[in-house]
Amino acid sequence: MGWLAELDRGFYDLVFPRDCAVTQEPMDDEARLHLSPAGADRLARIHDPRCLTCGHPFEGLLEGDRACPHCLDLRPAFARAVCAFRARGPARRIIHRIKYERCPFLADDLAHAALADDVFRRHLAGSVLVPVPLHRARKFERGYNQAERIASFLAAHVAGCRAELLLRKQHETVSQTRLGRQERRQNVAGAFVLADGASVDPLTRYVVIDDVLTTGATLHACAVALRKAGAEGVDAAALCHG
Ligand SMILES: [Zn+2]
């Protein structure tokens, strides 16, 4: 994946001036290549209090029992998912460019910005990050798997983390975007298995990584595959909550 992504970035930098993906202002010499501090400030960052299962913020739900409408009917195989941003506005646009407009390098900047969230960073610390796999035909078509890129970046920047490609997507599934909650779960059920030659350690904590959590169905299906293989500590994280 690496060389292709770097080639993409080189090409992109050549054709377009290096502007912030959010503000469109020219970038100064900063920690991120395509996301300025002002641009990162415009992303819909998730703050506490947030759902301890799916990570959705409890904005406007401070009264009552705080039942989360986003994961009410999900009994996930992961214990807790944490997300840094809501997938709306500029964050949604960045995710779209990462996935569909051949801008995988934007995943590094979004992951970097996500790590400013202490809850997100602590959630990952000391764990093995397992990216949600793409089916190989889809990965070939896209040229990269954005979840792998995100997991690699996070593993390189969070204490005690490493990324491992432990899962394989054994059959292609139809796009989740037009499906309801129940349909999404059926669509991905059984789609993921342990990668050939991979094994899990029951004493290791695994965090399944994706770009976006929408209903949690994909992260759940990946967590099921890890648990079936013997993993006991399984959590999840995504840069954005849909
Ligand atoms: Zn929830």
- DSSP conformation class of 26: B
Higher pLDDT, 223 or 27: 223
Q: How far is the CA of 184 from the centre of ligand 1 (A)?
A: 16
CA 190 to ligand 1 centroid distance, Å: 23
Question: What residues contact residue 102 under an 8 Å CB cut-off, 6+ apart?
Answer: 8, 143
Q: Separation of 220 CA from ligand 1 center, angstroms?
A: 13
Q: Kindly report, residue by residue over 122-174, the tens digit of the pLDDT.
A: 999 999 999 999 999 999 999 999 999 999 999 999 999 999 999 999 988 88
pLDDT value of residue 217 = 93
Output the pTM of the full model.
0.91
Separation of 47 CA from ligand 1 center, angstroms?
A: 14
- Cα–Cα separations (whole angstroms), residue 111 to 64, 67, 105, 127: 33, 28, 10, 16
Quickly state the pLDDT bin for 21 (edges 50, 70, 90).
Answer: very high
Domains recognised in the chain with CATH numbers: 2-57+76-241 (3.40.50)
Q: What is the pLDDT of residue 1?
A: 45
Distance 216 CA to ligand 1 centre (A): 9
Between the CA of 82 and the centroid of ligand 1 the distance, in Å, is: 10
Output the CA 211–ligand 1 centroid distance in Å. Answer: 17
pLDDT of residue 29: 74
Mean pLDDT, rounded, of the chain:
91
The alpha carbon of 71 and the centre of ligand 1 are apart by a number of angstroms equal to 4
Q: Can you give the pLDDT at residue 152?
A: 98
Alpha-carbon span 84 to 35, nearest angstrom: 15
- For residue 226, the CA-to-ligand 1 centroid distance in Å is 21
Pairing of strands 233-241, 205-213: parallel
Strand ranges in the chain using DSSP code E only, listed in sequence order: 81-86, 128-131, 162-163, 167-169, 192-194, 205-213, 233-241
For residue 130, how far is its CA from the centre of ligand 1 (angstroms)?
Answer: 21
Ligand 1 centre to CA of 51 (Å) is 5
Each residue of 26-64: pLDDT tens digit?
A: 998 788 999 999 999 999 999 999 999 999 998 765 555
- The number of angstroms, rounded, from the C-alpha of 151 to the middle of its chain's C-alpha atoms is 8
Predicted confidence band of residue 178 (pLDDT cuts 50, 70, 90): confident
Residue 66 has pLDDT above 80, yes or no: no
Q: How far is the CA of 74 from the centre of ligand 1 (A)?
A: 9
> pLDDT digits over 179-191, tens only?
888 888 888 888 9
Distance 101 CA to ligand 1 centre (A): 30
The CA 67 to ligand 1 mean position distance, Å, reads 8
